[in-house]
Amino acid sequence: MSLEKNKAIIHSLYEAFNKQNLGALDDLIAPDYVDYSRQERGLESVKHYYTDIYKGFSDIHLTIQDITAERDKVWVRFKANGTHNGEYHGLAPTGNKITVVGVEIYRIVNGKITGTEWVVEDTLDLYKQLGVIEYTEKAQKLFPEDVS
C-alpha cells in the first residue's frame, strides 16, 4: 500500500475512536493484531481497551498533531482531551479535565493495522491531573513549574 493510504487508515482509526464506533475497527484492525507496549492481542482486546477509556472519559477526543509514514510503519504524535466522568482503572470520577500527549507507531500490512509497535504517553501526568499523584515538598522544589 502507498504511504498515503497507510496514513489514511490511521486517520480512520482516530475518527472511529472519536466517534466511539467500535464496529469500524473490524475493517481497520487485523484479527492477529498485537500491541507490544500494552501487551494486548487481537481485535477484541482493542475494543475492550477503548471501551474502558470511554467509560472513564465519555467525551474523550484524540487529535493527530503530526503523522508520518515509511515502509509499513505510521508514526503519530497525538493529544487526547477529555473529562474524567466515569470510573477509570478503579478511580471514581473526579470531573477533572485531562490532556495527555503521546506518540504511537503502527504497523500496517495489506490495508490492516497489524500492531502497535510502540506507545509513549505521559501517563504520570494523567494521574497527576486526576489527583492520584501529589508532589512532595522535595518535588515542589525540584519541579516548581509543574506545581499548580
- The full set of domain ranges for the chain reads 3-135
> 10 Å Cβ neighbour count for 51?
12
**89 exposure class (CB count in 10 Å sphere: 0-12, 13-18, 19+):** exposed
Q: Which residues contact 144 (CB under 8 A, 6 or more apart)?
A: none
What is the predicted pLDDT for the residue at 45?
Answer: 93
Model pTM? 0.89
Q: Rounded distance, CA 1 to CA 65, Å?
A: 23
Note the CATH number of domain 3-135: 3.10.450.50
User: For the chain, which residues score pLDDT lower than 70?
Assistant: 145-148
**Radius of gyration from C-alpha coordinates of the chain:** 17
Cell numbers given for 40: 494486548
> 10 Å Cβ neighbour count for 77?
15
What is the predicted pLDDT for the residue at 146?
Answer: 55
What is the predicted pLDDT for the residue at 137?
Answer: 84
Residue that is written with C-alpha cell 519541579 in the block: 143
